[in-house]
Amino acid sequence: MAAKADRQLEHRTFVSYIDKSREYYQAQGYDRAYRWAAFDQVPFTPLAKSLDECNVAVVTTAYLHHHDSAWGAPATGKEPYHHPVVDAPEAMFTDDLSWDKQATHTDDRESFLPLTRLGELAEVGKIAKLNDRFFGVPTEYSQRKTGLDAEQVAEWCAADGVDIALLVPL
């Protein structure tokens, strides 16, 4: 067996997401470099009750329908939404989101919007109930917009008495 050549690396062998993001924003002409979100306190808390007493809601980044955009092009005008679980569509608009379209698909709605499985868990008493509506938030790259969307979903969850909001991003 031949010996492997000694590899001398002059550059990193990985892509630095932080560096690439900064370079991208700078190339786009933004005045300030991209700022990564940082939190001194994490907004999560332990459950105050057991799962079998909890109302569970789902939050997805998939959108309800195609809009009027061309397939694969970003849909415009997306806003946070809520939708009745009993009227959940068989398919969602996912083509404009970033996911590995060569390795997987979004034909199985349950993989990113697990309403059926959560309903089954409620039926057998693992959770108290699946919330009557699910929530959607568009994929945004703005910390300000993401924060506003989170506030809206938190209001809806509070109005519904949701104990657990399960975020299933695509």
Cα 146 from Cα 49, distance rounded (Å):
28
Coarse DSSP helix, strand, coil percentages of the chain, rounded to the nearest 5 percent: 30, 15, 60
pLDDT in tens, 87-108: 998 888 777 666 677 877 788 8
Q: What is the mean pLDDT of residues 10-32?
A: 77
Q: Is the pLDDT of residue 69 over 60?
A: no
Average pLDDT over residues 23-48: 78
Q: In this predicted structure, what is the pLDDT of residue 11?
A: 63
Domain ranges of the chain: 51-168
- Cβ-based neighbours of 13, under 8 Å, separated by 6 or more: none
CA separation for the pair 12, 2 (Å, rounded): 26
Q: What is the spatial distance between Cα 57 and Cα 80, in angstroms, rounded to a whole number?
A: 15
- Taking 50 as the threshold, does the pLDDT of residue 72 lie above it? no
